[in-house]
Structure 1
Amino acid sequence: MTNVNDNLFAQQFRSNQSTVLNGIKKLCKVSTLKNKFPVLNWLPKYQASFLLCDAIAGFTVGLTTIPQAIAYGVVAGLQPQYGLYAAFMGCFTYIIFGTCKDVTIATTAIMALMVHDYAIITPDFAVFISFIAGCVILLLGLLNLGVLVRFISIPVITGFTMAAAFTIGSAQVNNLFGMKSPSNQFLPSSWQHFFTHVTSIRLNDSLLGVCSLIFLLVMKKTKNIHYGNRTIWKYISLSRNSMVVIFGTLLAYLLSRDGSEPFRITGNITAGLPFFRPPPFRTHIDEEEVYFTDMIQTIGSSLASIPLVSILEIVAIAKTFSKGKVVNASQEMIALGMCNIMGSFVSSMPVTGSFTRTAINNASGVKTPLGGIVTGTMVLLALAFLTQTFYYIPKATLASVIIAAMISLVELDKIADVWKSKRIDLLPFMVTLLTCLFWSLEYGILCGVLINISFVLYRVARPQIYLDTIKICGYDICFVDVKQRLDFASAEYLKEKILKFMNENRHDISLIIVKGVEINSIDYTVAVNLLSLKEDLEVLSCDLICWNWNDSATNVICGLNSELRYMFKKEQSIEDVVNDYYLSLEKRNECSRPATLADIS
């Protein structure tokens, strides 16, 4: 007996060993490595002619990335350098793992807003969230769960994006006019603070902020100028953020040389490159040590919402700029997860894809992801040599940059399109928008998704079923046309609808035909309900025929009662089905009729 057990154990061990070895061999295949490290696909094919295009695109994106990274660091309630740390690590990491040449990874306004409530407690929370969110996103990507983003519809995404744009823009209105921004950055609090502190508006900041905002909005349109060299106009338009920041910084520096402070300025930014160190798994709040589990509890639902929003942004952006290629959503999630994990080791806040910078990258003619090296290098140089210059950036100028970017996120044309196409889809849009504005971004997108799921469940539970009385070959029959598949959720609905119809027309109809062309399959619950329906119809002196059902659905019912196979008619016209039924009915009636004197004679 011992020898038998030893042999079984040895066989099991060899089987497990073989499975492990096969898994390792599969992981070490060149195709697998190329799938997980897309840089191995495009780098060997890199052409020298691509270098200039990538350099120009990377430089152009860098001119936008630096001021926006500083601005979004401020939006998050952090020192500006945290936004720069996020930008340079995101650029370098995505080159290795990303699949779309146009996508640029950095912090965004939405990420900054979502992390704000935790970052103002201590910056360690922002770095910790970056690490945890990265681990969640990476795990989802490795499990090939990119399909989950399909459950979030465009109206929900549009409502969320617009709510974030309104919230972020409203929070910057105070800075635009030289006022201190409230700690609570949600829309009602921002406007309440603005109107209750309107007397503290600073004239210099207001003039600079409003003029900068107008300049940005006007310069955005210069790309559409057809006079002269259109390429020059395009690059002038793309560099508008840098032009505004440079002008505002130079003006603030010149006017403050005599010791005055004409504008509220950004202030000190930590110079030099960040230290490479593990993310903080414990921190201090008011001199009290907070451990890992306490940090997790503090973050709460954001552990799900921040990764979800990050995934939504990068997948949506990658699909927009994929240019006919199939987007590997799971690989994009792996890339985003690695960007956040690596960023957490250099004190980065959470990052995701940036639509604005990706659009600039695409418009600049980028050829490969290598353009990200130029952008990342520019951010590193800015951290190393330009931090003293950043000291003089007026907050009103940064506010104008953020508000101008938020205005572009308000896509009123999409709302008009939804109104024209299917107005019911405005419901998840409005629920998402209002919940995000007046409750929180996390619960807003959750409510929108729940509304979408309820739509799907309603359609599943109440499929399109059309019943009508039609005359075929001189007989009145009830014709049932099912336009969707049937499953357990809709089984009772089909039965109820047919019985209700029959109770209203019970004296006129003796045959019901259920068309099954669009019924691909049924389950046990549907089969039981159809058998129950047949019994109920027999009480009403009515028969049931299933016309043109496929074999899969037929076999489910016949598996319960093989004698009912006669109910299913296939490869016959409906006229032949009706004629055959009434002929057989007449024969049955004749056989069951008592013999009369005429029959005997």
Structure 2
Amino acid sequence: SGSTRSMKSGGNDSGSGDWTQLHQNGDGPKFTRSRWTGVTPRRRLFSRKVLDKRLPILVNLRDYSAEKAVADLLAGVTVGLTVIPQAIAYANVAGLDAQYGLYSSFVGCFVYAIFGSVKDSPIGPTAIMAILTRENLHGMGPQGAILLAFLTGLVQLLMGVAQLGWLVDFISGPVSVGFTSAAAIIIATSQIKDLLGLSYSASQFLAVWDQLACHIRETRKWDAILGLSCMTVLLLLRKIKDIPVGPKDTKERTTGQKLLAQSLWFISTARNILVVVVCAVMAFVFHKHDMEPFILSGKVKEGLPSIALPEFTHVDSSNHTMGFFEMCSNLSTAMIVLPLLSLLEDVSLAKVFPDGKSIDATQELLALGLCNTLSSFVGSMPVSGALSRGAVNNASGVRTTLGGIYTGIIVLVSLQFFTPYFYYIPKASLAAVIIAAVVFMVEFHVVKPIWRTNKMDLIPAVATFFSCLLIRLELGIVIGISTNVLFLLYASARPSVQVEKQACSWGGEFLVITPDRSLVFPSVEYVRNMICKAGVKQGAGSIPVVIDGRHVQGADFTAAKGVKSLIDDFVKRNQPLLFYNLKPSVVEVFQAVQPVSFHHCSTEQQLYAMLKGYSKQPV
């Protein structure tokens, strides 16, 4: 035990005076000096380090150059051309009018440029956010989607303030694979109706296929031809960027070869908008000649959205007014699942395109929370970072999150000037855009690696996949996470216990029992029974038993009570029980319940000395 005293060397109580602390060690008159800067909590809150962490734009602007600005401009414009057709299509996936997809695509770009830390993450509507929104609207329409975005943002902000970003770690790889694959199939299934020009109402996976079978004979020939043709073209254009042009080493290519390679890459990247524009032009020409071979998107509200708070009441089709809490009740599971999945999409994007920086999940939660909350004021549905657009961003050479500003400007320009032309976009072409995008989200190729590494991981993957398909997406991922947690609990409740009989150099024997992990409440009774059985059967109820705690990193109250009960059992049959190699913190936990005869040896010499004492052989 030592003593500490402090001397004030300057300044005042609320200022930044320096303090010197003198620590007197218990084993002598030695002193160590340390200095406290006296920085108050307010000053720490606004320190440069904290501001840089919470406002990443400050770091980006500090060394921003013309080269980075040009790279961000090119990437932002390229992503902007990609997001417009996707936003319109994702609005359709969510069961909303086209303008709501565009409303969801610009505020997040500006907000994330200030608060976001993943340079490749383009914030906007995504396929998963769209299909989850559709499944949870329950007839509330755009009002429900906007409120869901607002509540998703609030939950993310609260999670960020509470630093709960670690919760996303409970969504394991197999669960994520099962969920993403099921979501992709559900999204593609929901678009078959528009791809074939059919008209029916169904939202659940099996119900959609049932309705499709009933109405398949009503397929509109020209919509089907256009939709399938668009899908084929999109899939082909996706691959043309991989066509080899000249030598593999880009430095050895001629100017013409470089230009051709860049042109192929741009066509491949902008394939969605190219296909949609061509189809819209075709539909416009047909319309001018009084021909309507395709089902069109229809009128899109012109101009920029008005800024307003989300509506907290809703009047349904039966003229029943739903209050705020009733609307929240309809959105209950989505309010928890969407914030986590939004973070998962964003963090996954950062892992796919690493830039050497660690991912701050708390900061990403705060950034996404602000994006969703503020976007809801302009009529947005829930948003997140999109992996497909992130790939475009990365391939375009984006350098900072400021590239999102140019993407947002492109969307604003399209809203202000081009919405009248969106009327002519055939629904079949939008369905083709969605299907061609989500088909690559089905990750059946990972089944073999999972089977090779750990066959048990297939259980949560399969459980998640079929639960999402046959029940609901958000419930499916909850079931998947629960299955994974059960596996974790079972593993912690059934640790491996190694039992080894050893001979003493002076004669006699003793048992060494080694648990392979910490002792916590699920495993206590199991380990206690294993030790008792080993002591009776292999130890003949008499030879000393040594519990080697080298792997025991921690213990809880239940473990301490179990150890006390174990010691009592050994005392009753007069069999020695020794503990060896325990961490000091674990010893404190065990001693806290005051066991009758707790013997711990921290060194091998102490252990053998005690064993000699128990031995019937003369020392």
Give the structure-1-normalised TM-score. 0.89
CA distance in 2, matches of 1:107, 1:295: 22
CA distance in 2, matches of 1:145, 1:200: 50
Question: Is the 1:477–1:509 contact (alpha carbons within 8 Å) kept by the matching residues of 2?
Answer: no
CA drift at 1:269 = 0.5
SS at match of 2:228: helix
Question: Is the 1:432–1:444 contact (alpha carbons within 8 Å) kept by the matching residues of 2?
Answer: yes
Of residues 177, 184, 187, the one that matches 1:168 is 187
Change (3 A) 1:510 1:75: same
SS at match of 2:559: helix
> Where do 1:169-184 residues align within 5 Å?
169-180=188-199, 182-184=200-202
Question: Is the 1:99–1:331 contact (alpha carbons within 8 Å) kept by the matching residues of 2?
Answer: yes
CA drift at 1:359 = 1.0
Of residues 82, 89, 104, the one that matches 1:71 is 89
CA distance in 2, matches of 1:432, 1:227: 43
CA distance in 2, matches of 1:84, 1:174: 22
CA distance in 1, matches of 2:416, 2:570: 83
Structure 2 residue runs of 5 or longer lacking an equivalent are 1-12, 15-38, 247-257
Change (3 A) 1:309 1:203: same
Letter in 2 for 1:231: Q
Q: Deviations over 1:98-153 (max 9, x none)?
A: 11111000011111111114175331111111111111111111222111111221
Letter in 2 for 1:169: A
Match of 1:308 in 2: 340
Letter in 2 for 1:279: P
Question: Does residue 149 of structure 1 match 2:162?
Answer: no
CA distance in 2, matches of 1:238, 1:315: 23
Of residues 281, 288, 292, the one that matches 2:312 is 281
Q: Deviations over 1:153-184 (max 9, x none)?
A: 1111111111110100011112111212x433
CA drift at 1:415 = 2.4
Match of 2:255 in 1: none
Match of 1:51 in 2: 69
CA distance in 2, matches of 1:556, 1:387: 68
Question: Is the 1:506–1:540 contact (alpha carbons within 8 Å) kept by the matching residues of 2?
Answer: no
Higher helix share: 1
Question: Is the 1:510–1:541 contact (alpha carbons within 8 Å) kept by the matching residues of 2?
Answer: no
CA distance in 1, matches of 2:398, 2:405: 12
Match of 2:524 in 1: 491
SS at match of 2:441: coil
CA drift at 1:22 = 5.0
Of residues 362, 374, 379, the one that matches 1:347 is 379
CA drift at 1:558 = 4.3
Match of 1:479 in 2: 512
Letter in 1 for 2:429: T
Question: Does residue 242 of structure 1 match 2:273?
Answer: yes
CA drift at 1:476 = 4.3
SS at match of 2:577: strand
CA distance in 2, matches of 1:561, 1:377: 69
Match of 1:380 in 2: 412
Letter in 1 for 2:268: S
Q: Which of 300-309 and 78-87 deviates more?
A: 300-309
Q: Deviations over 1:214-269 (max 9, x none)?
A: 12112222222222444333222111111211121122222232212111111111
Q: Deviations over 1:458-485 (max 9, x none)?
A: 2222222122344454644322111101
Match of 1:127 in 2: 146
Question: Does residue 201 of structure 1 match 2:201?
Answer: no
Match of 1:107 in 2: 125
CA drift at 1:584 = 4.6
> Where do 1:250-261 residues align within 5 Å?
250-261=281-292
CA drift at 1:339 = 0.9
Question: Is the 2:120–2:349 contact (alpha carbons within 8 Å) kept by the matching residues of 1?
Answer: no
Change (3 A) 1:222 1:471: farther
Superposition RMSD in Å = 2.4
Question: Is the 1:76–1:119 contact (alpha carbons within 8 Å) kept by the matching residues of 2?
Answer: no
Of residues 498, 502, 514, the one that matches 1:466 is 498
CA distance in 2, matches of 1:560, 1:278: 56
Letter in 1 for 2:464: T
CA distance in 1, matches of 2:596, 2:96: 74
CA distance in 1, matches of 2:421, 2:484: 49
Give the structure-2-normalised TM-score. 0.86
Q: Deviations over 1:305-326 (max 9, x none)?
A: 2222222222222333332211
CA distance in 2, matches of 1:218, 1:470: 69
CA drift at 1:379 = 0.9
Of residues 270, 295, 299, the one that matches 2:327 is 295
CA distance in 1, matches of 2:614, 2:536: 25
CA distance in 1, matches of 2:73, 2:562: 67
CA drift at 1:560 = 4.9
Question: Is the 1:70–1:81 contact (alpha carbons within 8 Å) kept by the matching residues of 2?
Answer: yes
CA distance in 2, matches of 1:72, 1:300: 22
Aligned pair count reads 567
Letter in 2 for 1:85: Y
Match of 1:389 in 2: 421
Question: Is the 2:564–2:595 contact (alpha carbons within 8 Å) kept by the matching residues of 1?
Answer: no
Question: Does residue 547 of structure 1 match 2:580?
Answer: yes
CA distance in 1, matches of 2:500, 2:475: 44
CA drift at 1:441 = 1.0
Structure 1 residue runs of 5 or longer lacking an equivalent are 1-13, 16-20, 591-601
CA distance in 2, matches of 1:30, 1:583: 63
CA drift at 1:540 = 4.4
Change (3 A) 1:334 1:504: same
Change (3 A) 1:580 1:309: closer
SS at match of 1:586: coil
Question: Does residue 440 of structure 1 match 2:458?
Answer: no
CA distance in 1, matches of 2:579, 2:330: 58
CA drift at 1:570 = 3.1
SS at match of 2:604: coil
Q: Which of 467-476 and 28-37 deviates more?
A: 467-476
> Where do 1:578-597 residues align within 5 Å?
581-582=611-612, 584-586=614-616
CA distance in 1, matches of 2:234, 2:466: 28
CA distance in 2, matches of 1:62, 1:374: 7
CA drift at 1:34 = 2.9
CA drift at 1:543 = 1.9
CA drift at 1:211 = 1.4
SS at match of 1:43: helix
Q: Deviations over 1:516-542 (max 9, x none)?
A: 111123334323322332332344453
SS at match of 1:256: helix
> Where do 1:510-521 residues align within 5 Å?
510-521=543-554
Change (3 A) 1:259 1:147: same
Q: Which of 106-115 and 526-535 deviates more?
A: 526-535
Q: Deviations over 1:351-375 (max 9, x none)?
A: 1111100111011100111211211
Change (3 A) 1:508 1:345: closer
Change (3 A) 1:298 1:559: closer
Letter in 2 for 1:581: L
Match of 2:565 in 1: 532
SS at match of 1:224: coil
Question: Is the 1:558–1:564 contact (alpha carbons within 8 Å) kept by the matching residues of 2?
Answer: no
Question: Does residue 334 of structure 1 match 2:366?
Answer: yes
SS at match of 1:487: coil
Q: Deviations over 1:484-503 (max 9, x none)?
A: 01123322211101222344
CA drift at 1:382 = 1.1
Q: Which of 151-160 and 302-311 deviates more?
A: 302-311
